[in-house]
């Protein structure tokens, strides 16, 4: 399997992860009348296809155990951790989207992702301590501050104040706790080592096989969780059923598959970076990946023109947000070097 040998290549993979995680939601904008619960079926299939594509390409070449052999020989403990990580992430993702529908992006996203960033970084660091703690956690603090400023900018953009739903905030908090909890499980699964007697080289499953089991956890949990959300949407909208899914244009289904594939590219590149020979560790890899908030904000500002006509204070807050993000991500990026 391919694992980067240098820190420069590892950093490139972490940046790719950030770009993918911050860009996949654009595919939902390509089908504006497609309810998210229906879109999510195609998104889930795209995640599984992405894991297979990475496995049979980069995961099958280079040093170490090839992808499919690693899948067949992955110990049950690692499989369980990876699948559980996929289930927890999936529930968090569904709850976060419901919270955005209820409380709005300016409240739900900073609360959920900000909490996930803190929980995921701290817990992943304890699983695999690596990098300079002052730079790492200082960078996380700056990124968290950038997310808060981003929320303030969105609030200033709104022309009319809206009451924030308590239910939306609660969903955001639960989603953030779960979103920050999945990565340590994945890190533990990738760190599982099988030691053979007789002097044979030890075996560990590696990021590509774990990514496949992680995606299967997402698929398995989507069936009951998304079906329930179709019947009883948390956002108060009418229920949807399979007939609505089948009536959707083929282009919307392709957009859903593409969205899942892009997200999975971000996940696999993040997993691979955390296991690189540069000894970056999962805490740094996850922290930079969660810089996706900056990427999604950039899409909204520069491509979708979400702040066109916004008041001047909102645009000033956006500049401040990008400064905090860049400073925080720079601190996290150089943390493994010191």
Q: Which helix or strand (DSSP H or E) is residue 272 part of? A: helix 250-274
Q: How many domains does the chain have?
A: 1
Structure tokens that stand for 219 in this block? 């698929």
Can you give the residue range of the structural domain that contains 69? 7-337
Q: Does 155 fall in a domain?
A: yes
Question: What pLDDT band is residue 235 in, cutting at 50, 70 and 90?
Answer: confident
Of the given ranges (124-133, 208-217, 323-332), which has the lowest mean pLDDT? 124-133
Average pLDDT over residues 235-242: 86
Residue 270 reports pLDDT greater than 60: yes
Q: Cβ of 315: how many Cβ atoms within 10 Å?
A: 14
Average pLDDT, the chain: 88
Residues 47-58: b if buried by 16+ CB within 10 A, e if exposed: bbebbbebbeeb
Burial (0-12, 13-18, 19+ Cβ within 10 Å), 229: buried
Residue 27 reports pLDDT greater than 70: yes
Q: Give phi and psi for 194, each to the nearest 5.
A: -105, 120
Q: Does 2 fall in a domain?
A: no
Q: What is the pLDDT of residues 100-110, one digit of tens each?
A: 777 666 567 77
Distance CA 175, CA 332 (A): 24
Q: Which residue has the higher pLDDT, 219 or 123?
A: 219
Average pLDDT over residues 32-40: 90
Q: Does 224 fall in a domain?
A: yes
Question: What pLDDT band is residue 170 in, cutting at 50, 70 and 90?
Answer: confident
Residue percentage of the chain with pLDDT more than 90: 49
pLDDT given for residue 136 in this prediction: 92
**Neighbouring C-alpha atoms within 13 Å toward the C-beta of 51:** 25
Distance CA 110, CA 242 (A): 33
pLDDT given for residue 210 in this prediction: 97
Of the given ranges (105-114, 137-146, 230-239, 244-253), which has the lowest mean pLDDT? 105-114
Q: What is the pLDDT of residues 106-163, one digit of tens each?
A: 567 777 877 888 888 888 888 778 789 999 999 999 988 988 888 788 777 765 445 5
pLDDT given for residue 160 in this prediction: 41
Q: Does 26 fall in a domain?
A: yes
pLDDT given for residue 161 in this prediction: 43
pLDDT given for residue 6 in this prediction: 93
Q: Does 1 fall in a domain?
A: no
Q: Does 143 fall in a domain?
A: yes
pLDDT given for residue 88 in this prediction: 96
pLDDT given for residue 196 in this prediction: 67
- CA trace torsion 280, 281, 287, 290 (10° rounding): 100
Q: Does 251 fall in a domain?
A: yes
Distance CA 78, CA 88 (A): 15
Rounded CA Rg of the chain: 20
Q: Cβ of 199: how many Cβ atoms within 10 Å?
A: 5
Residue 265 reports pLDDT greater than 50: yes
Q: Does 109 fall in a domain?
A: yes
Structure tokens that stand for 12 in this block? 């490139």
């Amino acid at each position: 399997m391919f694992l980067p040998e240098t820190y420069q290549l590892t950093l490139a993979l972490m940046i790719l992860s950030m770009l993918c995680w911050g860009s996949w939601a654009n595919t939902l904008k390509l089908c504006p009348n497609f309810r998210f619960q229906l879109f999510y079926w195609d998104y889930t299939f795209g995640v599984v296809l992405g894991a297979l594509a990475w496995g049979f390409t980069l995961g099958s070449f280079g040093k170490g155990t090839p992808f499919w052999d690693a899948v067949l020989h992955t110990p049950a403990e690692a499989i369980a951790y990876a699948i559980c990580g996929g289930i927890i992430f999936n529930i968090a993702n569904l709850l976060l989207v419901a919270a955005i529908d209820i409380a709005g992006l300016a409240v739900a996203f900073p609360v959920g992702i900000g909490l996930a960033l803190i929980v995921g970084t701290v817990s992943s660091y304890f699983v695999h301590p690596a990098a300079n703690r002052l730079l790492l956690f200082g960078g996380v603090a700056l990124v968290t501050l950038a997310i808060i400023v981003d929320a303030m900018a969105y609030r200033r953009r709104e022309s009319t104040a809206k009451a924030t739903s308590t239910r939306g905030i609660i969903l955001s908090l639960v989603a953030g706790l779960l979103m920050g909890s999945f990565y340590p499980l994945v890190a533990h699964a990738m760190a599982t080592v099988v030691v053979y007697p007789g002097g044979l080289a030890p075996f560990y499953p590696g990021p590509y096989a774990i990514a496949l089991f992680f995606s299967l956890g997402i698929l398995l949990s989507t069936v009951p969780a998304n079906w329930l959300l179709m019947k009883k949407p948390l956002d108060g909208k009418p229920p949807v059923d399979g007939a609505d899914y089948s009536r959707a244009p083929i282009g919307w289904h392709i957009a859903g598959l593409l969205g899942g594939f892009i997200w999975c590219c971000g996940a696999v590149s993040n997993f691979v970076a955390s296991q690189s020979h540069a000894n970056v560790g999962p805490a740094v890899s996850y922290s930079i990946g969660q810089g996706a908030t900056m990427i999604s904000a950039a899409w909204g500002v520069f491509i979708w023109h979400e702040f066109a006509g916004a008041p001047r204070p909102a645009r000033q807050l956006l500049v401040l947000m990008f400064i905090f993000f860049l400073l925080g991500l720079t601190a996290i990026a150089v943390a493994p070097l010191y």
